């Protein structure tokens, strides 16, 4: 049973471009969570999604950031018009239910030039 998959593992963008980060949860998991880890900092919750629904986006910046988890396909975290401050590691986690353990993917390291 494959773990949580994220791609790309590394992404380089220039200021003003768009970044799309993908997360495929573990098989049988319908709950997806995105976290961001800035350099030398701990992980911060961004958004929690359940198939086709955003449950909690309280940790996500109001502008330029959006997330989706369609009925088919991976969850996507989209960052429009990236700025240098968006450079970070973005981790996705999944779980089969709200009360189950969250399993993390390897992360996507975004670098904004």
Residues that bind other proteins (CB under 8 A): 4, 31, 33, 35, 41-45, 48, 55-56, 58-59, 89, 91, 93, 98-107, 109
Nearer to other proteins, 17 or 30 (CB): 30
Residue 43 Cβ vs other proteins, minimum distance, rounded to whole Å: 4
Nearer to other proteins, 1 or 14 (CB): 1
User: What is residue 64's DSSP assignment?
Assistant: S
Residue 47 Cβ vs other proteins, minimum distance, rounded to whole Å: 10
Nearer to other proteins, 17 or 51 (CB): 51
Cis peptide before 8 (omega within 30 of 0): yes
Say if strands 43-50 and 31-37 run parallel, antiparallel, or are unpaired: antiparallel
Residues 1, 101 contacting (CB under 8 angstroms) = no
Residues 102, 1 contacting (CB under 8 angstroms) = no
């Amino acid at each position: 049973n494959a773990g949580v998959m994220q791609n790309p593992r590394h992404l380089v963008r220039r200021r003003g471009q768009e970044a799309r980060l993908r997360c495929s949860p573990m098989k049988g998991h319908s709950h997806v969570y995105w976290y961001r880890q800035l350099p030398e900092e701990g992980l911060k919750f961004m958004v929690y999604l359940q198939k086709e629904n955003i449950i909690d986006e309280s940790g996500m910046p109001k502008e330029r950031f959006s997330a989706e988890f369609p009925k088919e396909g991976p969850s996507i975290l989209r960052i429009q018009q990236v700025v240098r401050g968006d450079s970070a590691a973005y981790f996705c986690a999944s779980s089969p239910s709200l009360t189950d353990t969250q399993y993390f993917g390897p992360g996507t390291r975004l670098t904004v030039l």
